């Protein structure tokens, strides 16, 4: 059995490890076009901001460690073609500068996503970046050495995390967002406004409703971002306007894409092409609240899909349970989290949804350092089904209680089920009626 995996980060390496554990006799080969495998891209903003010492700290396992475990890991090898009928791949060995043909019995496409680069951002100017992989982070870090003004385009997850990192490095930061508010993806207006206030309190110049038209440069280096509302001067520009799934190999293999544009897979991570699997950011998943196919590319999803694919490719039987759209990020002092659907998303889906907003403290008000926490809880009128939650907490770690709601959403629980939950209480941790319970009580 020859299992070949394309892409050696979250989904790819999870699959390789599981497949090997399931079938130690299988030959497992990982092709990675980049210089790194098995690292946490999620840590990149924290290296840039100085919370994590260096990029090396993000690497979970080196290729050497994986080879010692019997996995064949080939860096700087880009897979450029698939012949699904012959079960072969064309692989470009960048080091040797030649292409080779490689056979497979089972193939996993764990190729991730690529940052969206609008036409105006396709530039040779130094100081213009995207952030996806370790070399992107290293390039941004190099540009920051002599930079004073940063402009970040896109106030989504990456833009928000980077704004904090760049302020921590002492730069002035302008954050440009095309949409009407920051954190547009997956948050309702009250959460978005609170995030924006936090950015502004920390010196970020936030400009929403601002489309970008071009870049300006001087001496080969970027000098500004041209917007509909004038020029923003900048020595370093990061474009973080979203991602698109890498589906070229899947299409070459004849595999079907879903309506989201990502690769369509079944619950065993099989594509529509026999012997070809897909897992991670490049693949769709089923949303357990809406029962729709979605493309929500996140780290745990990628690792979990990879595990499932690994077991199945090695002859086992594992299934991916679907997701409920849980995500969390930190921006300066705030922890911001969401799960399920927002009121706006529920309205868009035609659900009869209702939301309540509750402000409280993250633990007993009389105990030291009680910090404000806001919860928005969304449920379905009539059925009483829990639909989603958003949390904005001034003690960032407190936003992690979103997991209580996420776990219940997985079981299609009701608002009453949340209210009935026996949650932990002692004054340093929560109020006797935790803010989630108060919100469930109000929504009931
Ligand atoms: P990727 O990590 O994109 O890996 C795919 C790999 O495939 C790449 O290394 C690529 O070089 C390789 N590849 C592609 N095509 C080929 C080819 N033809 N031949 C050979 N190799 C190929 N998620 C969270 O849940 N929480 C977070 O806090 C978080 N923070 C993030 C911060 C940043 C800055 C970024 C960029 C992402 C963050 N994410 C976060 C998302 C998370 O990193 C991804 O969900 C995860 O890395 C996806 O793993 P993957 O294996 O599917 O794809
Ligand atoms: P995103 O989809 O989260 O946000 C992109 C933002 O750019 C949106 O607000 C969008 O309105 C805006 N935008 C789009 N075109 C624009 C334009 N021309 N000008 C100005 N603004 C524009 O994408 P991202 O921030 O690039 O992050 C990519 C992916 O990385 C995410 O989908 C997520 O999977 C992952 N990520 C997750 C986390 C986390 O979970 N904490 C952190 C970082 C990254």
Q: Please give the pLDDT value at position 185.
A: 75
Separation of CA 348 and ligand 2 centre (Å): 21
* CA 86 distance to own-chain centroid: 35
> What is the number of the ligand closest to the CA of 4?
1
The whole-number average pLDDT for the span 16-44 is: 97
> Does ligand 1 have an atom closer than 6 angstroms to the CB of 132?
yes
Nearest to 344 by CA among 189, 155, 194: 189
- Helix boundaries (H) for 296-392: 299-313, 343-348
**CA 82–ligand 2 middle distance (angstroms):** 30
Does ligand 2 lie within 6 Å of residue 174's CB atom? no
User: Which residue blocks in 23-149 are alpha helix, DSSP H?
Assistant: 44-49, 63-68, 134-144
- Return the best residue to mutate from 241, 294, 298, 305 for the ligand 2 pocket (most ligand atoms within 8 A of CB): 241
Quote the tokens at residue 298: 């996140």
Give residues with Cβ within 8 angstroms of 97, minimum separation 6: none
pLDDT in tens, 365-389: 999 999 999 999 999 999 999 999 9
User: What are the pLDDT digits (tens) for 83-132?
Assistant: 999 999 999 999 999 999 999 999 999 999 999 999 999 989 999 999 99
Is the dihedral angle over the CA atoms 178, 137, 128, 204 positive or is it negative?
Answer: positive
Q: Give the per-residue pLDDT at 80.
A: 98
pLDDT, tens digit, 9 for 90 and up, residues 315-358: 999 999 999 999 999 999 999 999 999 999 999 999 999 999 99
Whether 160 lines ligand 1, by a CB cut-off of 6 Å, is no
Give the three-class secondary structure for 111.
Answer: coil
**Residue whose C-alpha is closest to residue 389's, from 368, 410, 370, 403:** 403
Q: Which pTM does this prediction carry? A: 0.97
Q: How many CB atoms lie within 10 A of CB 74?
A: 18
Render pLDDT for 252-278 as a digit per residue (tens, 0 to 9).
Answer: 999 999 999 999 999 999 999 999 999
Average predicted confidence (pLDDT) for the chain? 97
Question: What separation in Å is there between the alpha carbon of 114 and the centre of ligand 1?
Answer: 8
Nearest CA to ligand 1 atom 42: 299
CA end-to-end distance (rounded Å), the chain: 55
As given in the structure block, the two tokens for residue 193 are 């406004």
- Closest alpha carbon to 263 in 423, 110, 55: 110
Ligand 1 center–CA 280 separation, angstroms: 8
The residue whose CA has the least distance to atom 38 of ligand 1 is 42
In which element (H, E) is residue 103 found? strand 98-103
The atom number, within ligand 1, closest to the CA of 113 reads 3
Report the pLDDT value the prediction gives residue 123, as an integer from 0 to 100.
85
Closest ligand to the CA of 13: 1
For residue range 220-258, list pLDDT tens digits in order: 999 999 999 999 999 999 999 999 999 999 999 999 999
Residue 184 CB–ligand 1 contact under 6 Å: no
Q: Is the CB of 177 under 6 A from ligand 2?
A: yes
Q: Are 110 and 28 in contact (CB under 8 A)?
A: no
The preferred substitution site among 42, 154, 243 for testing ligand 1, maximizing ligand atoms within 8 Å of CB, is: 42
Residues 167-181: pLDDT tens digits? 999 999 999 999 999
Name the nearest CA neighbour of 262 among 288, 281, 242. Answer: 281
**Which residue's CA is the nearest one to ligand 2's atom 8?**
156
Nearest ligand to the C-alpha atom of residue 178:
2
**Integer Cα distance of 42 and 125 in angstroms:** 26
pLDDT of residue 226: 98
pLDDT at 184: 87
Distance 243 CA to ligand 2 centre (A): 7
Q: What token pair was written down for 427?
A: 């004054």
Q: Catalytic positions, please?
A: 42
Give percent of the chain with pLDDT exceeding 70: 100
Place of tokens 């705030």: 334
**Contact present, 152 and 175 (Cβ < 8 Å):** yes
Q: Which atom of ligand 1 is nearest to the CA of 10?
A: 51
Kindly state if the Cβ of 246 falls inside 6 Å of ligand 1. Answer: yes
Nearest CA to ligand 1 atom 32: 42
Which ligand gives the minimal distance to the CA of 237? 2
Residue 303 near residue 18 (C-beta atoms within 8 A): no
ipTM of the complex: 0.98
pLDDT in tens, 64-91: 999 999 999 999 999 999 999 999 999 9
Quick one: average pLDDT of 211-226? 97
Atom 18 of ligand 1, nearest CA residue = 79
């Amino acid at each position: 059995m020859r299992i070949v995996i394309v892409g050696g980060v979250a989904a790819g390496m999870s699959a390789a490890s599981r497949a090997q554990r399931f079938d130690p006799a299988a030959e497992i080969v990982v092709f990675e076009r980049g210089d790194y495998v098995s690292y946490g891209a999620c840590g990149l903003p924290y290296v840039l901001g100085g919370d994590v010492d260096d990029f090396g700290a993000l690497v979970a396992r080196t290729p050497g460690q994986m080879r010692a475990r019997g996995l064949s890991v080939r860096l700087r090898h880009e897979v450029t073609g698939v012949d699904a009928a012959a079960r072969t791949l064309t692989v470009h060995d960048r080091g040797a500068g030649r292409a080779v043909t490689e056979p497979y019995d089972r193939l996993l496409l764990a190729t991730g996503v690529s940052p969206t680069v609008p036409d105006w951002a396709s530039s040779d100017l130094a100081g213009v970046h995207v952030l996806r992989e370790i070399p992107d982070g290293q390039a941004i870090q190099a540009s920051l050495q002599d930079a004073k003004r940063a402009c970040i385009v896109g106030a989504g997850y990456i833009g928000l995390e980077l704004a904090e990192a760049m302020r921590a490095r002492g730069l002035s930061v302008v954050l440009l967002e095309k949409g009407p508010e920051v954190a547009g993806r997956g948050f309702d207006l009250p959460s978005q406004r609170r995030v924006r206030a936090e950015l502004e309190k920390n010196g970020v110049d936030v400009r929403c409703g601002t489309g970008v038209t071009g870049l300006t440069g001087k001496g080969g280096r970027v000098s500004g971002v041209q917007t509909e509302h004038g020029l923003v001067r900048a020595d370093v520009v990061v474009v973080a306007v979203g991602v698109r799934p890498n589906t070229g190999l899947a299409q070459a293999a004849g595999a079907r894409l879903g309506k989201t544009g990502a690769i369509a897979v079944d619950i065993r991570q099989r594509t529509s092409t026999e012997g070809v699997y897909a897992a991670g950011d490049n693949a769709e998943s089923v949303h357990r609240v809406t029962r729709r196919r979605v493309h929500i590319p996140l780290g745990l999803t990628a690792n979990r899909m990879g595990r499932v694919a690994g077991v199945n490719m090695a002859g086992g039987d594992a299934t991916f349970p679907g997701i409920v759209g849980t995500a969390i990020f930190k921006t300066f002092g705030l922890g911001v989290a969401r799960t399920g659907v927002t009121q706006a998303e529920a309205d868009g889906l035609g659900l009869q949804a209702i939301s309540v907003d509750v402000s409280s403290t993250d633990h007993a008000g009389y105990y030291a350092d009680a910090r404000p926490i806001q919860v928005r809880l969304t449920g379905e009128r009539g059925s009483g089904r829990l639909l989603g939650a958003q949390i904005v907490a001034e003690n960032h770690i407190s936003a992690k209680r979103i997991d209580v709601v996420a776990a219940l959403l997985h079981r299609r629980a009701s608002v009453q089920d949340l209210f009935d939950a026996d949650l932990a209480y002692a004054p340093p941790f929560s109020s006797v009626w935790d803010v989630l319970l108060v919100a469930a009580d109000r929504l009931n």
